[in-house]
Amino acid sequence: MAVKPNSDYAEGSIRVLKGLEPVKQRPGMYTRTDNPLHIIQEVIDNAADEALAGFGKKIKVTLHTDGSVSVEDDGRGIPFGMHPEEKAPVVELVFTRLHAGGKFDKGKGGAYSFSGGLHGVGVSVTNALAKRLEVTSYREGQVASLTFSGGDVIEPLKIRAAGDAGDRKSGTTVRAWPDAKYFEAATLPINELTHLLRSKAVLMPGVSVTLAIEKTRDSQTWQYKGGLSDYLMQTLSADPVIPMFEGEGFADNSDTFADGEGASWAVAFTEEGQPVRESYVNLIPTSAGGTHDSGLRDGLFNAVKSFIELHSLLPKGVKLLPEDVFARASYVLSAKVLDPQFQGQIKERLNSRDAVRLVSGFVRPTLELWLNQHVDYGKKLAELAIKAAQTRQRAGQKVEKRKGSGVAVLPGKLTDCESRDIAHNEVFLVEGDSAGGSAKMGRDKESQAILPLRGKVLNTWEVERDRLFANTEIHDIAVAIGVDPHGADDTPDLSNLRYGKVCILSDADVDGSHIQVLLLTLFFRHFPKLIETGHVYVARPPLFRVDAPARGKKPAAKMYALDEAELTSILDKLRKDGVREGAWSISRFKGLGEMNAEQLWETTLNPDTRRLLPVQLGDLDFLQTEALITKLMGKGEAAARRELMELHGDSVEVDI
């Protein structure tokens, strides 16, 4: 029988979006769409980057009565000559091309050594989502102006000699009229804008930042000579227990980090009130924190722990955890990272793995020295942390008493953790003894347990609950996690749960994926409440390691990729950084057992740098998921499986 081709889907159905069209079609992929603040922030960030590079002392933001916003700076001014390759004015390219900007050039002599702008899509997104946008650049005795509408040039570049009364020596003015159709609310949230501008002034001591509102004729200017500590003291709701700990550290001729990378910080410890926590990377606010925050936490914890051990202050039976030190900490952290990797285009979280070691490496020795120079203050801080640890442990012991005495003997191959606090405890179900050995050596003994599994776990989809414990591996998993097998409609006793996270850790190959599916089948069929309550996770170890040579200011580095796509992305980035083709070396991990303990910790076990996916039902409900797994795992479902493979087999990437 002839199959009629689908006339609705042909070569002409494929659309290629050009220029700024992708931004207009899917604005949510590039910016926040609740209000236009983020597209204005992109312009402010560019002005701040000029000040950060040492080329500007003033930034002024004006809210005009016609709904437009203008941002003025006294930086170098955007170049407006012809681009050597693109044969178009540079200022036009910056506002009309995605991935065009001055922030990619990170080598010696680059326009920006450190910048918040990195993706090169910032102000072009502002332009795409604005009804009108006017740019004026003052540079080298000339004034250039250009006007856009919806991302298109409507008034071409005009250049005149400077000399009018309003002309500045150098700098840029951008005035934008955000297009309301792309945003849920058309007006800018004044409180958020004020906070953003104030924080820019805090992070750049000596730079004045002004907000002017035409309608009310109000104007406010911020300029902080004292920087972070002044700002934090004004923001705190309670007095600090000890004097504020402030400091900074930046790399200089380091083997690991580029010159100038580092951080400045101000930390205050209070006994009451809501902690204030703000962090920035190259002046960009990271509202969701990230690896630089983790580095600060790590440095504070290790310095306080070291002080407590040196002075023998820890009471018997008390275990100190990072959150005990961090619980009452308020801080403002400003990190400088040469090549920051952010989560998402709106840059709300820093993902750069090296930032943990970067910040921690400067914070820890500075705080250790300060505490040992001010022993009385050190003892007060130690008292605060020990008190938090005792409160946490008491809360954990209350739960322990309800467990009763009938505890099953834990499996012999389980390497347990020391803590009994299930909120922080994790167990890794690891494929094979060799990987289990690396995991045991690389783990955090305090809160991470390892249970190695021998071979492939039994397919339990059609196994009766009463017969489960006949299989040693499944018996060991159930006893280790402290929860009995149960059905979807049961109400199991989760009070004996021993770990807050049950993490499946298998190789990044076909066999590893099969083991992952068998374990997910086990949890979905026989421990569904663990999935429902968010206790089951899948760890994602990398498949490749790239050893990159030194490039520009960046020293040699090791980079990890989860898959081929990430590997391609890393290599493209190295090429952009000017690394010669083939100057890097690529290693492929055949399995977890090939990783040493340090590599496994850095890529897969360390909470600050690993990739851990929570297991959730997603868009399907329980019954739909059950029907799908029956097709995949049922013994009498070979025909259905074959049909599924014929339909979707070509969309599956298999790494053999």
Residue pair 367/287 in contact by the 8 Å Cβ criterion: no
Mean of the pLDDT values across residues 52-60? 89
For the segment 64-87, what is each residue's pLDDT rounded down to a tens digit? 999 999 999 999 999 998 888 877
365 membership: H or E segment, kind and range: helix 354-373
Q: Domain range for residue 35?
A: 21-222
Please report the pLDDT score of residue 648 as a whole number. 63
pLDDT at 243 over 60: yes
List 159's β-bridge partners, or say none. Answer: 144
Do 206 and 304 have their domain in common?
Answer: no
CA 309 vs. chain centroid, Å, equals: 33
Mean of the pLDDT values across residues 265-292? 90
Do 192 and 339 have their domain in common?
Answer: no
pLDDT at 99 over 60: no
Mean of the pLDDT values across residues 365-385? 95
Q: Where are the beta strands (DSSP E) in 309-436?
A: 329-336, 426-431
Mean of the pLDDT values across residues 484-498? 88
Do 132 and 185 have their domain in common?
Answer: yes
List 278's β-bridge partners, or say none. Answer: 332
pLDDT band at residue 396, thresholds of 50, 70 and 90?
A: low
Give the whole-angstrom CA distance, residue 273 versus residue 438.
43
Tokens of 423: 């909120």
More reliable by pLDDT, 106 or 317: 317
Tell which residue, 426, 419, 422, has the closest CA to residue 448: 426
In a domain, 466, yes or no: yes
Tell which residue, 258, 256, 250, 278, has the closest CA to residue 266: 278
Mean of the pLDDT values across residues 532-546? 92
Tell which residue, 215, 210, 220, 244, has the closest CA to residue 230: 244
Do 153 and 243 have their domain in common?
Answer: no
Give the whole-angstrom CA distance, residue 286 versus residue 346.
9
Tell which residue, 146, 280, 267, has the closest CA to residue 204: 280
- Amino acid symbol at 197: L
Please report the pLDDT score of residue 437 as a whole number. 83
Residue 385 backbone phi and psi in degrees, to 5? -70, -45
Tokens of 342: 């952010």
Do 196 and 237 have their domain in common?
Answer: no
pLDDT at 100 over 90: no
Tell which residue, 348, 57, 336, 347, has the closest CA to residue 204: 57
Do 79 and 211 have their domain in common?
Answer: yes
Do 180 and 232 have their domain in common?
Answer: no
Q: Which residues are CB-contacts of 65 (< 8 A; sequence separation ≥ 6)?
A: 214, 215
More reliable by pLDDT, 76 or 563: 76
CATH of residue 489's domain is 3.40.50.670
Residue pair 96/127 in contact by the 8 Å Cβ criterion: yes
In a domain, 494, yes or no: yes
Q: Where are the beta strands (DSSP E) in 329-432?
A: 329-336, 426-431
Mean of the pLDDT values across residues 590-600? 84
pLDDT band at residue 17, thresholds of 50, 70 and 90?
A: low
pLDDT band at residue 29, thresholds of 50, 70 and 90?
A: confident
Q: Write the CA distances from 640 to 160, 315, 350, 622, integer angstroms.
A: 73, 62, 44, 19
Please report the pLDDT score of residue 16 as a whole number. 52
Q: Which of 343-347, 533-537, 563-567 has the lowest mean pLDDT?
A: 343-347
More reliable by pLDDT, 400 or 553: 553
Q: Which residues are CB-contacts of 286 (< 8 A; sequence separation ≥ 6)?
A: 279, 280, 292, 293, 342, 347, 348, 349, 350
Residue pair 535/427 in contact by the 8 Å Cβ criterion: no
Tell which residue, 76, 64, 71, has the closest CA to residue 39: 71
The rounded percent of the chain whose pLDDT value lies above 70 is 88
Catalytic residues: 431, 507, 509, 511
For the segment 154-198, what is each residue's pLDDT rounded down to a tens digit? 999 999 998 887 788 899 999 999 999 999 888 899 998 998 898
Please report the pLDDT score of residue 401 as a whole number. 32
pLDDT band at residue 339, thresholds of 50, 70 and 90?
A: confident
Give the whole-angstrom CA distance, residue 548 versus residue 563.
17
Coil, helix or strand at residue 195: helix
In a domain, 414, yes or no: no
pLDDT at 117 over 50: no
Specify the DSSP class assigned to residue 70.
E
Residue pair 125/30 in contact by the 8 Å Cβ criterion: yes
CATH of residue 300's domain is 3.30.230.10
The maximal CA–CA distance of the chain, rounded, in angstroms, is 90
Please report the pLDDT score of residue 173 as a whole number. 96
Please report the pLDDT score of residue 14 as a whole number. 52
pLDDT band at residue 231, thresholds of 50, 70 and 90?
A: confident
In a domain, 115, yes or no: yes
Please report the pLDDT score of residue 393 as a whole number. 80
Please report the pLDDT score of residue 20 as a whole number. 74
Mean of the pLDDT values across residues 473-485? 91
- Amino acid symbol at 539: A
In a domain, 323, yes or no: yes
Please give the span between the terminal C-alpha atoms of the chain, in angstroms, as a whole number: 36
Residue pair 655/509 in contact by the 8 Å Cβ criterion: yes
Packing angle between helix 638-648 and helix 622-633, nearest 10 degrees? 100
Residue pair 258/555 in contact by the 8 Å Cβ criterion: yes
Do 96 and 82 have their domain in common?
Answer: yes
Do 353 and 382 have their domain in common?
Answer: yes
Helix runs in 533-621, H state only: 564-576, 597-600
Do 213 and 237 have their domain in common?
Answer: no
Coil, helix or strand at residue 73: strand
More reliable by pLDDT, 402 or 427: 427
How many domains is the chain built from? 3
Give the whole-angstrom CA distance, residue 61 versus residue 151.
22
More reliable by pLDDT, 628 or 65: 65
For the segment 617-626, what is each residue's pLDDT rounded down to a tens digit? 876 677 777 7
pLDDT at 40 over 90: yes
Tokens of 508: 């990044």
In angstroms and rounded to an integer, the radius of gyration of the C-alpha atoms of the chain is: 28
More reliable by pLDDT, 628 or 528: 528
Coil, helix or strand at residue 323: helix
Count of Cβ atoms closer than 10 Å to residue 155 Cβ = 12
Q: Which of 222, 238, 266 is the last residue of a domain?
A: 222
Q: Which of 398, 413, 446 is the last residue of a domain?
A: 398
Please report the pLDDT score of residue 378 as a whole number. 95
More reliable by pLDDT, 120 or 579: 579
Q: Which residues are CB-contacts of 2 (< 8 A; sequence separation ≥ 6)?
A: none
Tell which residue, 584, 512, 583, 581, has the closest CA to residue 542: 512
Q: Where are the beta strands (DSSP E) in 251-405?
A: 262-269, 277-281, 284-285, 329-336
Do 163 and 302 have their domain in common?
Answer: no
- Amino acid symbol at 17: L
In a domain, 567, yes or no: no
CATH of residue 133's domain is 3.30.565.10
Give the whole-angstrom CA distance, residue 308 versus residue 640.
63
CA 23 vs. chain centroid, Å, equals: 23
Q: Which of 183, 205, 222 is the last residue of a domain?
A: 222
In a domain, 281, yes or no: yes
Q: Where are the beta strands (DSSP E) in 283-355?
A: 284-285, 329-336
Do 249 and 205 have their domain in common?
Answer: no
Tell which residue, 72, 70, 75, has the closest CA to residue 51: 75
Packing angle between helix 228-235 and helix 190-203, nearest 10 degrees? 140
In a domain, 156, yes or no: yes
Please report the pLDDT score of residue 369 as a whole number. 95
If phi over 0 gives left and psi between -120 and 50 gives alpha, with beta otherwise, what is residue 480? alpha
Mean of the pLDDT values across residues 293-300? 95
pLDDT at 330 over 80: yes
